[in-house]
Amino acid sequence: MGVSADNLRGLALALSSSIFIGSSFIVKKKGLKKAGSTGVRAGSGGFSYLHEPLWWFGMGTMIVGEAANFVAYAFAPAILVTPLGALSIIVSAVMAHFMLNEKLHAFGILGCILCVVGSTTIVLHAPKEREIESVKEVWYLATEPGFLVYACLAVALVAFLIIRLVPRYGQTHMIVYVGICSLMGSLTVMSVKAISIALKLTVQGMNQFVYYQTWLLTAVVIICILTQMNYLNKALDTYNTAVISPVFYVMFTTLTILASMIMFKDWDSQDATQIATELCGFITILSGTFLLHKTKDLGNSSRRNTEPNEPNATSNT
């Protein structure tokens, strides 16, 4: 498919967004660690990080990245914009390696490369953006039975995770926090896309803020973002950043593409070959993330194994 000017704008904005967001993971974690040394850690339910300037700087960086991502959804389909978040994995993993001493093994680097290759495959075969002329049209799509079922299931699962699993397994199973962020994130993207379209149409002279649907969708975005921020902070404060970033990316991307497929019917205009290629790209991303997750401790364990041997070597001489 040809690359339109709007798609190019969307791609540029999504790429810059990934750089800002990937950096924000590291800056926020440094702020969380600094705040946790003098107060109750976020992973234990504390909010001392709110008094830490470094955390706020990281939050500002994330806001800039999210703003760029927000605008990108006005120009390109979600199935094209969302996979580019793979770049944030590379930025986050490399910065964590040098700044947080969270060592990334060679297989982890290969995993990151696979994530980028898979994302590129999806981007190159992404469907064209659906033409939408009013936020009321988006509201109609959001209230169709298929998406209503998805939204209700997502909210119910988030409630179950928060009420039943967070108290028991939040500190031991990363998937609990990441699952909450990913489920809410998929709903956030659908709402953000609607708001970005409303802004784009308003700038073009068709005011969309006279419709109550625009304000309802804005409220959904705010609620979802606040929920994500809370549990993402807990995840970052509890687990390795180099693992949180890719796992969150894969779950978030999977659910967002699914939600977009249900709501906007992105794949209706594609043939079987294009869909199969996108699926192969996504499997490549999953493979890269699995490899990164399974080898996350190799670098650190090898370093720990060499440390005890040093005094032994000295005593034998």
Q: pTM (2 decimals)?
A: 0.70
Cα(40)–Cα(28) distance, integer angstroms:
16
- Residue 143's φ and ψ, nearest 5 degrees, are -105, 10
Closest among 102, 234, 242 to 171, alpha carbons compared: 234
Q: Which two tokens stand for residue 233?
A: 């902070």
Cα(280)–Cα(112) distance, integer angstroms:
16
Decide: helix, strand or coil at residue 60: helix
Cα(265)–Cα(54) distance, integer angstroms:
41
Tens of each residue's pLDDT in the chain, 317 residues: 455 677 778 888 888 988 898 888 888 888 888 887 777 676 666 677 787 888 889 889 988 988 888 888 888 887 778 777 777 777 877 787 788 777 777 777 888 788 778 877 877 777 776 778 888 888 999 999 999 999 999 999 999 999 999 999 988 888 899 999 999 999 998 998 889 889 988 988 899 999 999 999 999 999 998 998 889 888 888 887 667 767 787 788 888 888 988 898 877 777 788 888 888 888 887 787 777 666 655 555 544 454 444 334 333 43
